[in-house]
Amino acid sequence: MIEIDDLHKRYGDKTALDGVTFSVKPGEMFGFVGANGAGKTTTMRILMGVLTADSGSVLRDGRPLTFEDRRRFGYMPEERGLYQKMKVTEQIEYFGRLRGMGSGDARRATEGLLTRLSLTERRNDAVDTLSLGNQQRVQLAVALVHEPEVLVLDEPFSGLDPLAVDALADVLAERCRSGVPVLFSSHQLDLVERLCHSVGIISAGRMVASGAVEDLRDREGRGRLRVIVRDATPGWTSGLPGDITENGDEVLLTGVTGDGQEILHLAAKAGRVEHFGWQRPTLTEIFREAVA
């Protein structure tokens, strides 16, 4: 288990992290989300030992991380770091050997990743001749080549086409199933909702929500009622409880208490009720409310 415990970090006068705490379990895919400048990259750099925190700690199974631990991690930094003139295959193998792999193992792992990430046709091309999306695939292969024990990826899905997104999602899910904790940041909340078991939402250096995606959706969904009434009497919503958002015939009520039967009664009196149900918010809706 990776535990991030009460991290604080300032850059001069600027507070970047103000008590960031969360954990990622073995076999868990954790989506780290937050607005631009919220503190995701800073947290991941501290986790990887690229930056030092002012206070707080990063633990693995209860003890502080060492340089040797981190060598067995896979990291995709925000500032992508590839050798532009080196060929794709050589590059991936080289990074495998840097992480202690023998040349045979590095070659076999590279071949597997070239296939998985659809890079086979570009294997002998120099990195600087590749499109940005293909460079991103190489960067991912470099992070994955040594079968890392933990994966820390800074926006790995940005700039990828839908097929590459699916290929990467499959690889990450496979690593997760073998017990690897996977932490990645992303602004693609639909993707995070689809792929991740857990999520952490950071805003201005503080965690504003974290936990299992389904638990968060259940928790935040309490008191949200969606009602669609066709041919309704105009103004029928004026006496309804909670906060009301109307969109044509559709009404979303938040902050509703009780079982909502009186609302159903009012809706049925006003018109033809086409839909009446409690609604769990999407991750995007939870995110908007949490960082508002």
Ligand X SMILES: Nc1ncnc2c1ncn2[C@@H]1O[C@H](COP(=O)(O)OP(=O)(O)OP(=O)(O)O)[C@@H](O)[C@H]1O
Q: Provide the binding-site residues for ligand X, judged by CB under 6 A.
A: 11, 14, 16, 34, 36-42
Which one, 39 or 148, has the nearer CB to ligand X?
39
**Cβ atoms of residues 76 and 154 within 8 Å:** yes
Which one, 36 or 261, has the nearer CB to ligand X?
36
Here the tokens at position 42 are 């800073």
Which one, 2 or 38, has the nearer CB to ligand X?
38
Which one, 14 or 63, has the nearer CB to ligand X?
14
Question: How far apart are alpha carbons 60 and 234 in whole angstroms?
Answer: 60
Other C-beta atoms closer than 10 Å to the C-beta of 21 total 14
Residue 201 CB, nearest distance to ligand X (Å)?
A: 11
Residue 14 CB, nearest distance to ligand X (Å)?
A: 5
Residue 98 CB, nearest distance to ligand X (Å)?
A: 25
Which one, 20 or 130, has the nearer CB to ligand X?
20
Residue 61 CB, nearest distance to ligand X (Å)?
A: 26
**Cβ atoms of residues 236 and 266 within 8 Å:** yes
Which one, 31 or 96, has the nearer CB to ligand X?
31
> What's the half-sphere exposure (Cβ side, CA atoms, 13 Å) at 183?
27
Phi–psi pair at 102, nearest 5 degrees: -70, 160
Which one, 9 or 146, has the nearer CB to ligand X?
9
Residue 102 CB, nearest distance to ligand X (Å)?
A: 36
Residue 291 CB, nearest distance to ligand X (Å)?
A: 11
Residue 143 CB, nearest distance to ligand X (Å)?
A: 17
Question: How far apart are alpha carbons 115 and 122 in whole angstroms?
Answer: 11
